[in-house]
Amino acid sequence: MEAHGPSITVPSSLAYFCVYNPNFGPTEETQKDQLLYYVAKKTVPMDVKMRQIGLAQGLIHFTRVFSPLKPCENVHTQKNRLTFYEPEPNYWIHISIELSYIKKIIKDKDGKPKTIVEYLDSNLHDSGIKRMLQLGYGMYKMFNGPFDLTVHTVGIKALKNKLEEFFANWVFNWDFDKMDIAKTIDGTSYLPLSSSARKQITSFTDKFHSEYDFISDILILKNNKLVCSGKKIITEDEIRELLRYLFPLISERNKFEIEIEKQKNKEGEKYYTFKDFTRTLSGGNLFAFFSSPPSNTTPKCSPSSSPTNNTEIPNSTFLSPPLSTPFPSLSPSPSPSSSSPLSISNFLIGPQNLQGGTDGVNEEEIKPTTIYLNKKSIEKTIDEECAHNVDEYYLLSYKKNSITIVFLIPHSSLEGSKKIHDITFYRSIDTYLSSQTEDLINILNEEEERTRIIGTEIDKEYRYLLFNKITLAVKSSLYVNNITYPSSSSSSNNNNNITYNDEMSPLKGLTITNEMAHSLCDLHEDLEKFPHITEIYTRSSSNFWIVGKRIDGRVLYVVVPKKEASLTEVEEDVRRLISLYFSGTLTDNFD
Amino acid sequence: MAYSSLRSPNLSPMSPIVEDFLSDSNSTFTSDEPLSPTLQPQRKYSLLKAKPTTQLTLDISSPTTYSSSSAGSSVKSFNAISNKMESGVCGEVRPKEGSVDDILLGFMNRSNSTELHINKFLSTFGNGQRKETDSDNETESEEEGMEQADSYIDSDISLENNCGKPLISQSPDNSLISINEEYTGYRRKYGNEDPQSTNWTRHRKHFFILSSAGKPIYTRYGDESRISSYMGVIQAIVSFFADSDDTIRCINAGQHRFVFLLKGPLYLVAVSRTNESEAQLRDQLNYLYNQILSILTSTQLIKIFEQRINFDLRRLLGGTEPFLDNLATSMSDEPGFMLGSIQCVRMNKDLRDKIGNIMQSVKSKDLLYAMLITNRKLITLLRPKKHSLHPADLHLVFNMVNGSSTFRSAESWTPICLPKFNNKGFLYAYVCYIATNVCLLLISPDKDKFFELSEAKSIIVEQISMNNILQDLEETLRCDGYSIADVGVPGLRHFIYKSRTHVQYTSPTFVEPYCNPQERQILFKLYRYTHDRMHSRVRSLKVHYYAGSSETILGWITSSFELYAAFGPLVSKSALTSSSHALLRWIKREEDNLFIVNSPVF
């Protein structure tokens, strides 16, 4: 049998996605009350929906017979993949994905053309889907609180609304075929710091804490890399969810700043045409940052994002329905006032207009963003009200050049709760930071420059990803040639050379192929499954080597695309890579 | 005949099938692939043959071909079935549907009509299970301890130990004695386990076979008649996906993997926490399916279910459980199934050739295949020029010989379908042990050639006994393979080498540190993982190396061989590479002795 004519590849797509709780509809009549949220590719009649969640429960019950503690996680069928996730007791997130397939026309034995369809089950990784659902729930919970809390405080109806708001558009933009290892691992990139730089950062945050003592935690980001993760009030898990939320905002703001720079430079133009600008926005929504992450060396932040897709920076996050709009005033007034765009404050999350008199801004207009963070285990109480084990915090974020600073203020702080509604508080922070961040930016630029010089040569030969399971820190060069983010060279002065560049990517010649990406996922799943394995070397049928190796509690994945290399030679290569990258000061910040 | 005493409720469901086949114009007894193909002729044998054996007696009587029974119980089953036929002829033909049938029927109907009912059924079913869950929380902490005990379940404790023993019911509750015991005297391990108990659910690998109507046909553990509710659920799940033109393949739940194989009227399901991959478990289900075909042929299987979708196939398979059980156990122990190849006895090539020549000398046009085997290893095989014998078929033959101790005691003549050769019809196997551990198999397409082949055997035995050939052979077999020390490769602990050209594999005997069954199981598990990764359908590998806490495993595949080698945990990659090359050189040198390089042809 030989191929005849072209083959058509149809990508994976969402069949349906739902959230249900069997306890809400125990009888046959009330069964439909179980359903909290449902969305499908096609319009689906209620009885089909009921059938689907009925099957889901049947599968869970059946598998519980044999595996009582871990019932059905996923079902592989010829054409579909079902996945189940129970983030809170009895609340189930359930998704069905239609597998991608290839349609080929071949000649059968008699020479007659015949259409065959091949479903690509093994290109959809269960670990990737699982992470995607976890991330989805994690972000939902961060900004909306746990499902059960909502039900107890405002009722089932409110929960349904929140779910609808959060998931509605998002789910359709998942790109299931682009789940690679980095998305599955979904770690956080850190900027490695020298010890002197770290001291300076610490003194900066200490000073800031003493100035505003009701602020309980500060996080600092340089571009998309975490510099300082604060006092651990926010866990590693929550940090990555928070970052998935922040990245699109940062990228959006960067783009906006470029536009303003352009506008400044164009003398002929009297005012900025916002119409044009907004047209370039792709109809903002939350899923923008799930479908293509904006700016990062870890472009895989979202389960669905395409690392090769970064040329188009997702923007317009402010329109995202699920999360309360962080800076509504970014939508410029239609007035031709040239100052209008420039009036945007440095707050990424917070009031956008700090100008005007004290009474210029109505205090009720300041709607602070609240996030829900898990209580630390020591603080857990049996108190009825705290049964959900979350604490509420106000979230505030300040961005200047390539630096973004995040503040957390506990709801429990009386002073904080008062200040957060007071415009003068924002002005004071703004003034304080404008004067203090200059040094910070310079330090971090140096640090970034220092790390960049190392290893550009060796990156041409290999691609790697290093992951620390405890801190969720990740360091990766897998998709390094696709990076686009504002150049840090623009930094020291507020100059107009903020650009989206490719200058970080001299590493042509080695692209991670689909097969490599899938093999990396296979390898990752194996290492997760078999903790006793210390290292795996594989050579594929197309002759590239992939290595997974545990080093001091971390896992290193390396792609060595050398066709002729032997096992011993590849080992030598990996050794070189380790000594170059992962020894000495560079890893300091990593742990 | 003890007419009345045999009309036990267990046996009475036999009648409908007789009715069906009698009422069919192409009656069983006249068709080419009859239900009991050798019924008439064999009865003749039993009259003619001077010393009828147990095996023969059984073959005459039972439509179920095999049994591992003691003499007494096979007579019983002979009587029982004759009795059935009589009652069928006499017009006592109304099928008596048991209450289980009604429930399942009802369930089927409901599941086909309204999907809501599935849910309801499953929920009710599930609620019952929920209690189990709670009590299981405690046992889960004992995971480690159980793990060890459990590994015995999959280890190589031979079923044969149980087969030959006379039936003694150890259960205080006699009503629990399964239908099999009644038939054949075969007593299954774990046969009395309650499917609601954690002992039952916690077995490391379950196999279930059910009909597409949801009727239980086979379970590896416990009693088929008591797992109807689970089979009903499986049937409902399968048909749910079938309704939307889809096919369920696999469910993952924690450590458990549920793999489905749908073969026309039969559904086969594996429930395993052995870390085997979906593909590997599906392969095993295919072997089980082939085992069923070898008893029934696909023609019959399809015909039976065309006539009655709700047919209880256990009636036809009764007595063959030992073969399915034996197969299930073997698949967990022997790499041959996973590798799709068979193992040969390592022996001097000249000796093998001599034996081959002797067997070749009894050229008979009635003979299709002739082979000499020992303990699941091939000594030599003769085949027609045009037909090779597929390893899957050979595994069935091995399993047949291995699965019943009665072959050891007498000459046997038994129909067998070799699905890869022809899944529609029977071949006939003459089986006879010519020495303690040496079994001669002569396979003919003609069901009337028992005497001719028995004659041929006599000639073979006569010749092989001359010139010390048999003695040499037995001496070779006594040594039982070779050890890793014979190979003399430093650092190498164990290996499996499959010659892709000869479709045979070779492997040394287990020595330290793989002396006990658990350790062997662990090693086999490591090989299995490597094998699976390397044979991934879309992303196959050429080399797979990994270092674990106690072993380093190398998997290496080229166009001509597959090598799986175990080294110590600290071996360097260069030492491992040079050792592997040394091993390959040794195998090349020994190739003629390790493998049947040129199998003689007719």
- Which residues neighbour B273 within 8 Å (Cβ) at sequence distance 6 or greater? A66, A67, B204, B205, B254, B255, B256, B257
Task: Decide if A123 touches B, using CB distance below 8 A.
Answer: yes
Kindly write down the DSSP assignment for every residue of A339-381, as one continuous string.
TTGGG--SEEES-S---S-TTTS-GGG---EEEEEEPPGGG--
Cα–Cα distance, B296 to B302 (Å, whole number): 10
ipTM, 2 dp: 0.81
> B508: cis peptide before it, omega within 30°?
no
Question: How high is the pLDDT of residue B127?
Answer: 39
Instruction: Give the residue with greater pLDDT, B47 vs A466.
Output: A466
- Which residues neighbour A140 within 8 Å (Cβ) at sequence distance 6 or greater? A162, A163, A166, A167, A322
Highest mean pLDDT among A24-28, A134-138, A211-215: A134-138
Provide, rounded to the nearest whole percent, the portion of chain A with pLDDT above 70: 74
CB neighbourhood size of B31 (10 A)? 15
Question: How high is the pLDDT of residue A324?
Answer: 38
Helix axis angle, B99-113 relative to B228-243, nearest 10°?
A: 20
pLDDT band at A387 (very low <50, low <70, confident <90, very high): low
- Alpha carbon A353 to its chain centroid, in Å, reads 28
Minimum-distance CB partner of B548 among A28, A57, A533: A533
Instruction: Give the residue with greater pLDDT, A21 vs A172.
Output: A21
pTM of the model: 0.78
| Residue A222 in tokens | 């340089």
Question: How high is the pLDDT of residue B185?
Answer: 54
Cα–Cα distance, A50 to A30 (Å, whole number): 11
Cα–Cα distance, B376 to B505 (Å, whole number): 12
**Minimal CA separation from B120 to chain A, in Å:** 8
**CATH level 3 topology of A180-265+345-352+368-374+388-440:** Beta-Lactamase (3.30.450)
Check: CB of residue A583 under 8 Å from CB of residue A554.
Answer: no
CB contact burial A199-209 (16+ within 10 A = b; e otherwise): ebbeebbeebb
- Which residues neighbour A26 within 8 Å (Cβ) at sequence distance 6 or greater? none
Chain A residues close to B256, C-beta within 8 Å: 63, 66-67, 70
Among residues A122, A99, A101, A112, which one has the least CA distance to residue A8? A101
Cα–Cα distance, B537 to A122 (Å, whole number): 9
Chain A residues close to B227, C-beta within 8 Å: none
Task: Decide if A32 touches B, using CB distance below 8 A.
Answer: no
Element (DSSP H or E) covering residue B252: strand B248-253
User: Matching CATH topology for A7-179 and A180-265+345-352+368-374+388-440?
Assistant: yes
**Minimal CA separation from B73 to chain A, in Å:** 35
- Which residues neighbour A500 within 8 Å (Cβ) at sequence distance 6 or greater? A254, A258, A295, A313, A484, A485, A486
Q: What is the CATH number of domain B347-478?
A: 3.30.450.30
**Minimal CA separation from B22 to chain A, in Å:** 40
Cα–Cα distance, A34 to A19 (Å, whole number): 9
pLDDT band at A194 (very low <50, low <70, confident <90, very high): confident
Question: How high is the pLDDT of residue B430?
Answer: 94
Check: CB of residue B442 under 8 Å from CB of residue B412.
Answer: no
User: Matching CATH topology for B2-48+481-594 and B347-478?
Assistant: yes
Query: Across the strands, what pairs with B553?
Result: B546, B566
Helices (H), B141-261: 143-154, 160-163, 179-184, 198-201, 228-243
**Minimal CA separation from A74 to chain B, in Å:** 5
Question: How high is the pLDDT of residue A527?
Answer: 93
- Which residues neighbour A128 within 8 Å (Cβ) at sequence distance 6 or greater? A176, A179, A180, A183, A184, A303, A521
Instruction: Give the residue with greater pLDDT, A271 vs A257.
Output: A257
- For residues A58-80, give the mean pLDDT: 94
Check: CB of residue A482 under 8 Å from CB of residue A178.
Answer: no
Mutate to test the interface with B, among A66, A177, A181, A527 (most CBs of B within 10 A): A66
Kindly identify which residue of chain B lies nearest to residue A565, measuring between CA atoms.
Answer: B543
- Domain boundary assignment for chain A: 7-179, 180-265+345-352+368-374+388-440
CB neighbourhood size of A233 (10 A)? 17
- Which residues neighbour A124 within 8 Å (Cβ) at sequence distance 6 or greater? A12, A81, A97, A99, A100, A176, A177, A179
CB neighbourhood size of A156 (10 A)? 14
Diameter over CA atoms, chain A: 86
* pLDDT higher than threshold 60 for residue A256: yes
Cα–Cα distance, B552 to B580 (Å, whole number): 13
As a whole number of Å, the end-to-end CA separation of chain B is 47
Question: How high is the pLDDT of residue B515?
Answer: 87
pLDDT band at A456 (very low <50, low <70, confident <90, very high): low
| Residue A472 in tokens | 């969720």
Binary contact (B246, A80; C-beta < 8 A): yes
Task: Decide if A266 touches B, using CB distance below 8 A.
Answer: no
Query: A271-278, long-range: CB within 8 Å, 24+ apart, which pairs?
Result: A271/A336, A271/A337, A271/A338, A272/A332, A272/A338, A272/A340, A272/A341, A274/A332, A274/A334, A274/A341
Cα–Cα distance, A106 to A3 (Å, whole number): 5
Mutate to test the interface with A, among B114, B121, B129 (most CBs of A within 10 A): B129
Among residues A467, A461, A501, A463, which one has the least CA distance to residue A484? A501
Check: CB of residue A303 under 8 Å from CB of residue A183.
Answer: yes
- For residues A476-482, give the mean pLDDT: 66
Minimum-distance CB partner of A568 among B230, B546, B573: B573
∠ Cα A416 A419 A425 (to 5°): 125
Question: How high is the pLDDT of residue B583?
Answer: 96
Chain B residues close to A78, C-beta within 8 Å: 246-247, 249
Among residues A574, A587, A298, which one has the least CA distance to residue A468? A587
Check: CB of residue B384 under 8 Å from CB of residue B363.
Answer: no
Question: How high is the pLDDT of residue B134?
Answer: 37
**Average pLDDT, whole number, for chain A?**
76
Kindly identify which residue of chain B lies nearest to residue A515, measuring between CA atoms.
Answer: B539
**CATH level 3 topology of B2-48+481-594:** Beta-Lactamase (3.30.450)
Element (DSSP H or E) covering residue A18: strand A13-20
Cα–Cα distance, A189 to B594 (Å, whole number): 55
Cα–Cα distance, B322 to B74 (Å, whole number): 14
Helices (H), B468-572: 469-479, 484-487, 517-534
Task: Decide if A63 touches B, using CB distance below 8 A.
Answer: yes
Among residues B446, B426, B411, which one has the least CA distance to residue B52? B411
What is the bridge-based pairing of β-strands B205-211 and B216-219?
A: antiparallel
Check: CB of residue A275 under 8 Å from CB of residue A333.
Answer: no
- Domain boundary assignment for chain B: 2-48+481-594, 80-133+185-332, 347-478
Amino acid found at B256: H
Helices (H), B423-468: 450-465
Q: What is the CATH number of domain B80-133+185-332?
A: 3.30.450.70
Mutate to test the interface with B, among A67, A121, A540, A567 (most CBs of B within 10 A): A67
Enumerate residue ranges in chain B where pLDDT < 50.
1-184
Task: Decide if A564 touches B, using CB distance below 8 A.
Answer: no
**CATH level 3 topology of A7-179:** Beta-Lactamase (3.30.450)
Among residues B486, B533, B538, B495, which one has the least CA distance to residue B514? B495
* pLDDT higher than threshold 90 for residue A507: no
Highest mean pLDDT among A261-265, A269-273, A389-393: A389-393
